[in-house]
Amino acid sequence: MRRIMAELALGVRLAFPSGRRGWLRTAMATAGVAIGAAALLLGASVPVMLDARQARMEARADSVAGVEVPPGETLIVAGVESQWGSNAVRGRLIWPESPGAPLPPGVPAFPGDQQMYASPALRAALAGPDGETLRRQMPYEVIGTIAPSGLSGPHEYAYYAGYKRAESLVGSGSWRVDRFGYVLEGERGPGTYVVVAAMLATLLLPVAIFIGAALRFGADTRDRRLAAIRLVGADSRAVLRIALGESLVPAGLGLAAGTLLYLVVRGRAADLRLFDVSVFPADIRPVPVLALLVVAVIVALSAGMTLLGFRGVAVEPLGVFRRSTVWNGRLWWRLLPLAASLWLLQPVLAGAANPDEDRAGLGVVLLVIALIPLVPYLVPLVARVLPGGSASWQLASQQLRQNPAASTRAVTGIVVAVTGAIALHTFFGAASVRRATPDNPADPAYVLQAPGRQTPAAMRERTATFEQVDGIRAGTVAKYILYGGRDATGTGYLVVGDCATLRQIATFDRCADGDAFVQGDTGRTVTTLDTGHIEPTPGTKVAVPAGARPARFVGTDAQGVNVGLLLTPSIVPASLARAEPWFVETRMYEGDDAPGTAAGQLRGLAAEIDPLAQFTAIAPEYDKFASLRVALNLGSAVILLMMGVGLLLDVASRLHDRRRLLGVLAAVGARRSTVIWSVLLQALVPVLAGLALAIGVGVGLGAVLMRMSQVPVLFSASAVLAPVAVGSALVLATTVGVLLPAARRVTTTEELRYE
């Protein structure tokens, strides 16, 4: 054991005083390991991070799930969910029924009527440039700040406002709670986990490939040192242990640098946000077992790359000899990861309603990994299929068939990165198209549903209020649900509104005040649903006018509607005018000239009408994947930079390894242009073959992400071709950048000298 430790220690010492190439190799490997270690440590912190966030959200949960809490030491709560740009706003209107009422977490005392405690992020937004528009949604006096224990994260927009009127709304907008900490319902949207898994695979796998490229750089210098050690009496096992000790240096330095990078990112965690999820720096702590696993994985990867580098290599006292054999790769085992990934993704591909996200996420990661063994098999296949041509192509083709692994090891990282970029950019593009338009063209952009009866004049006034916003066209109706029996809440709608507004809901031939319209077989009378009871109860009976003409609901209103009755104001019977509608609905359509702040202005007007009214954006107001897109672009830039450096190292290493072969070609009269074109083709053919594979897999993966997130499957040429163009340009630029300066030196007979 003492001998083994001494040999490992010798390898550690040799890693430092090993010349410029050795220092560069160590620095590049350390940088790659540091980035990978920081990313893995952050991944190991995710369980603790999410558990801490979930614990705070559960501690403040106030949803009683329909259970009626009797009055006593209780607090009356009304929920106000809103939106400001890309930030969801969680509002609670509260009023204590006794001094012993439960206090919300993070709030020091109950606010008075029309006073509120706001989160730090919300207070900053209220003080910002558009703060006045935001304040219309919450016109309360700010008297304090919610502590971190009452927030899901530092970026959350939240407030607790005192609202005495909530006492009179119990059962119809507010509810009682005797504590906080009820069961919390899930919030994550469909497909989110799978998209994040695809992005992590896209960004982390090239890092691992880069580490391997960096560890291989300068291997010839290391091999000569090891041959010298063999000369003084070390056996082959000792040489291998010395090489393993040398590989521990970049692994150890990378772990140390990665830990520092992790601490820096942890300190800035409060500035980061993903999918409305933000965490406090104290939440970011790695799970101890996972942290140890990160160290073990990095050390094992470093040792594994070293052992892999000694395959086919014999270190002898008189030099290092490499066994040259014709590559004969097997296809069957290379298809196993692809087959496994397709099996995991089978529910998504088959169109299952609720596929398991954990299974789909694993399938996505495995699909990206499956590219790594496929690229070395594809390159010699392409070289054999392409017809013979010039001498430069014949030289390149021979090399590609004999040793495709050496020609593709640096390109594989670019193929993985391009595959993920195609999938994610096509997905983001399709999600943006969906966000820009409602699912049904007949639907409005926004809908306000408020309780209470409204006269025709009041409904026209409400319509005019919302049309004050530039680019907005609105219409207000009173909606009643038709009673369909004890076992159904309703079979259709009774709608009251003027002709212009009714045309937004249904299609009919002509309209004037006093007209009525029906859809389906309503019979002579219809009965509304009494909204004052929990159980389905018949309400007001309304006679269908004799001259009612046919109509048909459009948009979302047409879904599941069997019968319907539409009335203009002058024909509404007095009994219906006195009945409570299901809600008064204002539909708002957004024109191309609407300002970007239209949604905020409309929400402010809705809050002034009734802070508890339900305001819904039919098309999402913001791009929830914007933060992921920024992270992908930044990560891709870093990855491409690393891949460029890896390509430079790989091309330089290959030129150095083949200098004697190139010298032989020069000695037998090969032209310099032939040799240069041969090297260029050896770099371009693998990347073109790999990018063709990346396009197919990337498009398929993008379709999987769209299906998982319930986004229409749409592809744009720019989202597919842009990553391909960047990857091709990177390979061409790095190859030419290394080859042209070294062309004269590597194509001379001087390279035949050997000592």
CB neighbours (10 Å) of residue 196?
A: 17
Greatest mean pLDDT among 141-145, 657-661, 745-749: 141-145
Listed residue (703, 610, 717, 684) closest to 166, CA to CA: 610
Measure the CA–CA gap between 692 and 725, rounded to whole angstroms: 12
Measure the CA–CA gap between 471 and 592, rounded to whole angstroms: 7
pLDDT at 222 over 80: no
pLDDT at 177 over 60: yes
pLDDT in tens, 532-573: 666 677 888 888 888 889 999 988 777 778 788 999 998 888
pLDDT computed for residue 624 by the predictor: 60
| 146/582: higher pLDDT | 146
Cβ proximity of 189 and 353 under 8 Å:
no
Rounded to 5°, angle at Cα 151 from 71 and 132: 95
pLDDT in tens, 347-387: 887 777 677 777 877 888 888 888 888 888 888 888 777 77
pLDDT at 485 over 70: no
Rounded to 5°, angle at Cα 568 from 566 and 573: 90
CB neighbours (10 Å) of residue 518?
A: 20
Tell me what the pLDDT averaged over the chain comes to: 79
pLDDT computed for residue 259 by the predictor: 92
- The arithmetic mean of pLDDT across residues 79-91, rounded, is 85
What predicted TM-score, i.e. pTM, was given to this entire model?
Answer: 0.69
Cβ proximity of 527 and 487 under 8 Å:
no
| 590/201: higher pLDDT | 590
Measure the CA–CA gap between 260 and 266, rounded to whole angstroms: 10
Confidence band for 345, pLDDT divided at 50, 70 and 90? confident
pLDDT computed for residue 22 by the predictor: 64
Listed residue (379, 373, 341, 406) closest to 691, CA to CA: 379
As a whole-number percent, the residues of the chain with pLDDT over 70 amount to 77
pLDDT in tens, 322-333: 555 555 667 888
Angle between helices 192-216 and 19-60 (to 10 degrees): 160
CB neighbours (10 Å) of residue 691?
A: 23
Write down the residue that tokens 């319930």 correspond to: 710
- The arithmetic mean of pLDDT across residues 599-624, rounded, is 80
pLDDT computed for residue 147 by the predictor: 92
pLDDT computed for residue 536 by the predictor: 73
**Contact partners, residue 350, CB within 8 Å, separation at least 6:** none
- The arithmetic mean of pLDDT across residues 397-423, rounded, is 76
- The arithmetic mean of pLDDT across residues 60-87, rounded, is 84
- The arithmetic mean of pLDDT across residues 487-510, rounded, is 83
Listed residue (83, 705, 88) closest to 431, CA to CA: 705
pLDDT computed for residue 309 by the predictor: 67
| 389/527: higher pLDDT | 527
pLDDT in tens, 421-454: 888 778 777 766 555 555 567 788 889 998 888 8
Confidence band for 724, pLDDT divided at 50, 70 and 90? confident
Confidence band for 27, pLDDT divided at 50, 70 and 90? confident
Measure the CA–CA gap between 442 and 503, rounded to whole angstroms: 10
Measure the CA–CA gap between 461 and 458, rounded to whole angstroms: 5
CB neighbours (10 Å) of residue 3?
A: 9
Measure the CA–CA gap between 32 and 26, rounded to whole angstroms: 10
Tokens coding 660? 């004697």
C-alpha atoms less than 13 angstroms from C-alpha of 169 in its C-beta half-sphere? 21
